[in-house]
């Protein structure tokens, strides 16, 4: 099972031009089974390069054999036309559930601007059995908001694990009351906007203490304490000031033995972030 996570920066290259076809070409070369994307836009002419097209539809059309799930926590209307900005999952595997979670956005006087953030969750029938696949893009500017979002993700993960422990199918219940198994086993990926030495990174990986499956950094599972490949700051983009890691795969500990590879594709300059690729046996 091959999963790609990538903040595509609405397909805008460092020359300020949008080339969504370049994003699609990179993804096709990576030959993924599941694609998780952040910063997908629709009808946003004010973004650099003028992101007027519906990129959710463009990407879905390019991977016609995949199931498409989208979540745009930022949904703004102008002249009754929605301007969308958010996350996208494409899966070649059968899906059985989708959950779109809005993450906390507490007021922060230090950073009054910003945007709503979300967690897109799906249950997929993966080769090794059902698992939850989640992608997110956390707050960048406000540390209190980002920490609140980390804590909410931990709460949602604990909720799923608790429900999985008591799940019993009941043929007498109608479908809306019986969505099926929402397993504890999970992959969480995306642009978290923290570095590996940050307090929010430590908070996300803290022991759960509530019966939930612990979360592990898949890079550390695969590479140990070796140097971590940067996921942003390459190819001359103005942000960040130096290369560092902002994009991750986290997995529940029951999946640790299945991690066959975790790599950062450093060559492409199609976005200011790099694609991260996880392979599970």
Q: Model confidence over 118-146: pLDDT tens digits? A: 999 999 999 999 999 999 999 999 999 99
What is the mean pLDDT of the segment spanning 6-32? Answer: 97
Average pLDDT over all residues of the chain: 96
Measured CA to CA, the distance from residue 151 to residue 200 in angstroms comes to 9
Q: What domains are defined for the chain?
A: 2-166+180-280 (3.60.10.10)
Q: Residue 168: exposed, middle, or buried by beta-carbon count in 10 A (0-12, 13-18, 19+)?
A: exposed
DSSP H or E stretch at residue 85: strand 81-91
Secondary structure class of 8 (helix, strand, coil): coil
The reported pTM is 0.97
Cβ–Cβ < 8 Å for 8, 38: yes
Residue with tokens 């490949």: 229
Measured CA to CA, the distance from residue 79 to residue 205 in angstroms comes to 43
| Partners of 200 in beta bridges | none
- H-state helical runs in 170-217: 199-205
What is the mean pLDDT of the segment spanning 95-121? Answer: 97
Provide the pLDDT for residue 194.
98
Q: What is the dihedral of CA 32, 229, 12, 14, to 10 degrees?
A: -150
74-103 tens-digit pLDDT: 999 999 999 999 999 999 999 999 999 999
Measured CA to CA, the distance from residue 56 to residue 72 in angstroms comes to 10
Measured CA to CA, the distance from residue 88 to residue 183 in angstroms comes to 21
Secondary structure class of 40 (helix, strand, coil): strand
Cβ–Cβ < 8 Å for 221, 278: no
253-279 tens-digit pLDDT: 999 999 999 999 999 999 999 999 999
Q: In Å, how far are 57, 180, 198 from 75, measured between CA atoms? A: 16, 30, 30
Spatial neighbors of 107 by CB under 8 A, at least 6 apart, are none
Measured CA to CA, the distance from residue 84 to residue 261 in angstroms comes to 33
Measured CA to CA, the distance from residue 23 to residue 8 in angstroms comes to 7
Secondary structure class of 4 (helix, strand, coil): strand
Cβ–Cβ < 8 Å for 205, 250: yes
158-215 tens-digit pLDDT: 999 999 999 988 888 888 888 889 999 999 999 999 999 999 999 999 999 899 999 9
Is 90 exceeded by the pLDDT of residue 226? no
């Amino acid at each position: 099972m091959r999963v790609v996570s990538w903040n595509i920066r609405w397909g805008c290259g460092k020359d300020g031009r949008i080339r969504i076809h370049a994003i699609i070409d990179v993804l096709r070369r990576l030959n993924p089974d599941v694609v998780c994307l952040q910063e997908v836009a629709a009808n946003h002419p004010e973004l650099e390069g003028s992101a007027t097209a519906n990129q959710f539809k463009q990407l879905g059309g390019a991977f016609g054999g995949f199931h498409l799930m989208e979540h745009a926590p930022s949904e703004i209307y102008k002249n009754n036309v929605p301007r969308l900005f958010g996350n996208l999952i494409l899966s070649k595997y059968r899906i059985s559930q989708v959950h779109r979670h809005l993450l906390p956005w507490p007021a922060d006087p230090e950073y009054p601007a910003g945007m709503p953030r979300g967690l897109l969750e799906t249950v997929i029938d993966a080769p090794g059995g059902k698992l939850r696949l989640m992608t997110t893009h956390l707050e960048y500017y406000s540390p209190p908001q980002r920490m609140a979002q980390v804590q909410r993700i931990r709460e949602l993960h604990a909720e799923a694990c608790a429900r999985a422990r008591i799940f019993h199918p009941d043929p007498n219940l109608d479908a809306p009351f019986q969505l099926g198994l929402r397993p504890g086993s999970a992959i969480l990926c995306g642009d978290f906007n923290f570095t590996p030495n940050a307090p929010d990174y430590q908070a996300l990986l803290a022991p759960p203490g509530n019966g939930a499956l612990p979360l592990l950094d898949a890079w550390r599972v695969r590479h140990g304490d070796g140097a971590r490949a940067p996921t942003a700051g390459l190819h001359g983009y103005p942000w960040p000031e130096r290369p560092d890691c902002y994009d991750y795969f986290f997995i529940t500990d029951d999946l640790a033995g299945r991690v066959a590879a975790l790599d950062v594709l450093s060559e492409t300059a199609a976005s200011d972030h790099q694609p991260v690729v996880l392979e599970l046996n």
